[in-house]
Amino acid sequence: MGSDSLYIVNAASGEEVNVQHPFGVGIHGWFRILGVLNGNICFKFSREQDDTRLLVWNPTTQCSREISDPHKDHGRSFFPVYGFGHVPNSDAYTVIHMCKRDIADAYVFFSRYCSRRSTWFHCVDCLPGVEKIDPNSVFNNGHAYWITGTGDSYATPKSVLCYSVEDESFSEVSIPVGAIYTVHNLLTHKEKLALLAHTHNEFGYVAAIWHLNEDADGNKILEQYCRFASRSIRENPILFVDDNLLLLVNNSKERELLVNYRYRELVLTEYDIEHGTRNLLVRRAWRYPETPHPITVRSTLKYFAGMFPV
């Protein structure tokens, strides 16, 4: 698979489409997806090592906008975190950038891009005392969320960091002791922010969903919604479709046939939490260094993508 290739898989039909993104990175470049919003994809890419830029692209309309990367002003020694979402009560989108010189530093550099202004601006300082910020973010109802860490190697989840685009303010919600498992992810479920926690104990693999709610005084709290049996802490939750959870497992294996070879395997599964049943959606394998080929495809999901103007 070439460095300029991007594969879009329709989970309903299993159809796999190879599309060319609107930038060429070549053999010395790279790219990664920062977020997906209503049909738009936000990329960070580089054509020449550290010459990084951002790009918002709609594969349906083929419209795109290239955006300068504020992280270039800080250099390699800084740890960048991004967020991509919409501006409430508008058709505009926003890109959030935060970085720290060192995890132990108290100060967090913050800036935000708005498609209406077409510029980056600094509007608020991040909360003090924030240590490690997980690079994965979720945008829901005009708020961006990240998990923060603390402790040895900053591996212990501490809180959910929240940024309100409308109020241009930060807040922090402590993660309850009962939700501190081995692996944590943020998703949206039933129009709420959801914290998914996975662990392994004497009963096997266990996962729990915690919703971000408000108490009687209007304070944000995390409350457990449900628990269910998992198969592995390597199951990476991607998103909810109605009440069903999509799980992705990325495996790297060795297989012994006529000759030995290594391959990567991606398995996408739909999990019905209410009934405890699983449905294999898509299974793909990459034999190094060849291109991916389908192994199994089964699905009953529907695909929908909206659009915002780029």
Summarised one tens digit per residue, pLDDT across range 257-286 is 444 456 677 788 888 888 888 888 877 776
CA 187 to each of CA 1, 108, 109, 135, 240: distance values in angstroms, whole numbers, following the listed order: 29, 24, 25, 14, 8
Q: Does residue 296 carry a pLDDT above 80?
A: no
Asked if 267 contacts 255 with a C-beta cutoff of 8 angstroms, the reply is: no
Q: Residue 43: its pLDDT value, please?
A: 92
pTM of the model: 0.81
pLDDT above 80: residue 156 = yes
Q: How far apart are CA 28 and CA 47, in angstroms?
A: 6
The pLDDT, as a whole number, for residue 160 is 95
pLDDT in tens, 213-246: 999 999 999 999 988 887 776 677 878 877 888 8
Higher per-residue confidence, 296 vs 233: 233
* Res. 255: pLDDT tops 70: no
| Helix, strand or coil, per DSSP, at residue 213 | strand
Residues 286-304, mean pLDDT to the nearest whole number: 43
